[in-house]
Structure 1
Amino acid sequence: MNEHQPLVSIGMPVYNGESFLKNAIQSILEQTFQDFELIISDNASTDKTQEICRFYAAQDQRIHYYRNEQNMGAAWNQSQVVKLAKGDYFKWAHHDDICATQLLEKSVQVLNKNPSVVLCYPQTMIINHLGASVEKCSDGFNLRSTKPHQRFRKYHHLVRYGNICNPFHGLIRTNILKKTPIVGGYPSSDLVLLGELVLHGEFYEIPETLFFKRDHPDNSIRAYPTYRERIAWYDPTKKNKLYLTKWKWLLEYLRAIRAAPISLLEKFLCYVQMLQWLTWNWLWLIKDLFKALMWPLFKLFLYLRANPKLAGNTSFL
């Protein structure tokens, strides 16, 4: 007997999520659309996350729980749930967010009816740690142009000054998502991923608030405020190593354009858009190069801080 292949795969990467995990899982199980699998990848949690996940997995055969023996970093875990997905459509679901009961149903309807749409997402409400509404988001990623360069240009204007990236939590065509590097081990790789997906197809915004994103003191942006801390959160192997984030963004955008299944004219127009991106980011790119030049001194500073007895002794120099 063949194993049932669900239409939708939901991936939940988690690390120490006991505070909100039950509510997040329950909101998925209560969806009006039920043809899904829930893939939970536990990044070696040390709290009650494993206990909670195993309880739900024992109750519902659609839940597949995987536990890593060591923390592989957020980027690895985010990508791993995609690699394990079997459904035609994929959605990330984080342990601290809530989905309205009709989120999957309405998103599936859009993708089923619109082959040109690669990603469908609803409007978002920010909630606090108690679940109370804080602010309604105006994402504006309803990118419906049939021309890839126009979608790409609009996307860049939307993320020019940063974005909380709610469309990242939308429903995505799995086969297209798996053609990308998925989530890279560097800050804002989720935004770069959206920039690549928009080259493959349209984005559709459902004009209803169906996604509730939780803002709390332990979320990644608040817990890891600096680029250096966030890089290590994405990929622990990069801790205290030089990483030129802005140059990585540039190279990834150029790679995405080159790999996109679009005409040569559209690729050319997307490269032209990257010239505008350079005018917005040239100072940051120069700062990255300056950081690279100063890196040996920074490494020396870290060494001396770790070995304070040497700080007052210059005989080793």
Structure 2
Amino acid sequence: MTKLLDILITSYKHPEYLDECLQSLATQTWQGFNVHIIDDSPGNPVQPVIDKWRAQGMVIEFSQNEQNIGGIECLDIMYRRTHSDYVMWLHHDDILWPQFLEKLLCEGLLQHPECGLGYSLYQRKTGDQIQPDTGVYRPALSTGPHSVVHHLCITNWIICSFAILKRSALDEVGAIQRHVLRDQLIGLPTSAYPDQYMCARVATRGPAYVLDEPQGYYRIHASNATNRTGGELRRITESVRTYDYIFDDHNIFDKATRYLAKANAHGRLLSDVGVIQAMLQMIQASEVGQELRPMAKELLIATHQALAPLIYDDASRGRPFVTPRPHLDELARLVQQL
């Protein structure tokens, strides 16, 4: 029987985490999915976990790598083997709550076929400690369909473990291969954030279904991708490269989106001038400004739309807005004058 969703799990060491992850799939209130796992840790430490869940009736397609090839390569292999209408990339160390698939896919994406992706919020889990927030900049969006492509030019808050993508939309924008080829071109083990780049591409094909509530735990530990990137002082470099990818993709992103990504990289990551000021400087510049001034209103509207709902999602700080209201009000007045 054909299932509606392929769940692609990339596994790397820590069989105890994979066991918890599969437990969270076994308890889903909606079960119309296939499970595919590639373990990327030579030595096969997770085979006992696979055997355990197979014995309990879970159908798992499992492959073991003899050499480490990286998560994005594993994802691409599984993606090209599968064909369901919807797909999600689940990290083996994350945990889904029982109603995640029912709420995000059945009550969300299937009711809104115009959406190319959907995501839920999540909580952070470090050891036994739970932080009731995402701990990142994110747009405060209500449950339902929203355009998110401009927000993804500013910040990366969608964790792939809590996102579901429509395969047809992802295929239209190069699927996983687009990132694999960029990795090969750069020649680095990590080059840009694949979840942000993937979601941004799909977000050009329609709105995202937002589930404005946490539906699982994102685990933070010494060997996961976020910690490794930060520990190796590559976080900013990889962020800038992600926005460079967006800027380079002329055939996917429109000009306003591409220059918004460039203004963010320049104003927020490569200097302290801020996104709004960076965009204004670009519009007024002697060279690139000649191209941008005719579309100044479109660029400033995109900047306002991207920044206005952004909060810092830290419960202990009250989830403050990122951009001061006076700055946004001044930007809105400038837009009205154009």
Q: Same fold (TM over 0.5)?
A: yes
Q: Which stretches in structure 1 are left out of the alignment for 5+ residues?
A: 231-243, 261-266, 285-317
Give me the whole-angstrom Cα distance separating, in 2, the residues matched to 1:133 and 1:279.
34
- Please state if 1:173 is matched with 2:193: no
- The alpha carbon displacement at 1:274 in A equals 4.1
- The alpha carbon displacement at 1:223 in A equals 3.7
Structure 1 letter corresponding to 2:132: E
- Please state if 1:76 is matched with 2:73: yes
CA shift in 2, pair 1:69/1:252, >3 Å: same
Does structure 2 conserve the Cα–Cα contact (< 8 Å) formed by 1:36 and 1:62? no
Does structure 2 conserve the Cα–Cα contact (< 8 Å) formed by 1:142 and 1:204? no
- The alpha carbon displacement at 1:248 in A equals 4.5
CA shift in 2, pair 1:274/1:217, >3 Å: closer
Give me the whole-angstrom Cα distance separating, in 1, the residues matched to 2:199 and 2:46.
29
Please state whether the residue corresponding to 1:137 is helix, strand or coil.
coil
RMSD over aligned Cα, in angstroms? 2.9
Of 36, 39, 43, which residue of structure 2 is paired with 1:39? 36
Give me the whole-angstrom Cα distance separating, in 2, the residues matched to 1:246 and 1:209.
24
Does structure 2 conserve the Cα–Cα contact (< 8 Å) formed by 1:153 and 1:270? yes
Give me the whole-angstrom Cα distance separating, in 1, the residues matched to 2:20 and 2:73.
24
Does structure 2 conserve the Cα–Cα contact (< 8 Å) formed by 1:127 and 1:214? yes
Give me the whole-angstrom Cα distance separating, in 2, the residues matched to 1:281 and 1:208.
28
Please state whether the residue corresponding to 1:136 is helix, strand or coil.
coil
Question: Which residue in 2 is equivalent to 1:117?
Answer: 115
CA shift in 2, pair 1:79/1:145, >3 Å: same
Question: Which residue in 2 is equivalent to 1:211?
Answer: 216
Question: Which residue in 2 is equivalent to 1:226?
Answer: 232
- The alpha carbon displacement at 1:172 in A equals 0.9
Q: Which stretches in structure 2 are left out of the alignment for 5+ residues?
A: 184-190, 272-338
Question: Which residue in 1 is equivalent to 2:263?
Answer: 276
Give me the whole-angstrom Cα distance separating, in 2, the residues matched to 1:97 and 1:145.
25
Give me the whole-angstrom Cα distance separating, in 1, the residues matched to 2:212 and 2:268.
32
- The alpha carbon displacement at 1:253 in A equals 1.0
Does structure 1 conserve the Cα–Cα contact (< 8 Å) formed by 2:35 and 2:60? yes
Give me the whole-angstrom Cα distance separating, in 1, the residues matched to 2:238 and 2:90.
26
Q: 1:5-154 residue pairs with structure 2 within 5 A?
A: 5-46=2-43, 48-60=45-57, 62-109=59-106, 110-130=108-128, 132-137=129-134, 139-140=138-139, 142=141, 151-154=148-151
Please state whether the residue corresponding to 2:246 is helix, strand or coil.
helix
Does structure 1 conserve the Cα–Cα contact (< 8 Å) formed by 2:220 and 2:227? no
Question: Which residue in 2 is equivalent to 1:197?
Answer: 202
CA shift in 2, pair 1:46/1:254, >3 Å: same
Question: Which residue in 2 is equivalent to 1:305?
Answer: none
- The alpha carbon displacement at 1:257 in A equals 4.2
- The alpha carbon displacement at 1:65 in A equals 0.8
Instruction: Give the TM-score of the pair, scaled to structure 1.
Output: 0.69
Query: What percent identity do the matched residue pairs reach?
Result: 20
Q: How many residues align?
A: 253
Q: 1:233-244 residue pairs with structure 2 within 5 A?
A: none
Question: Which residue in 1 is equivalent to 2:274?
Answer: none
CA shift in 2, pair 1:274/1:220, >3 Å: closer
CA shift in 2, pair 1:279/1:15, >3 Å: closer
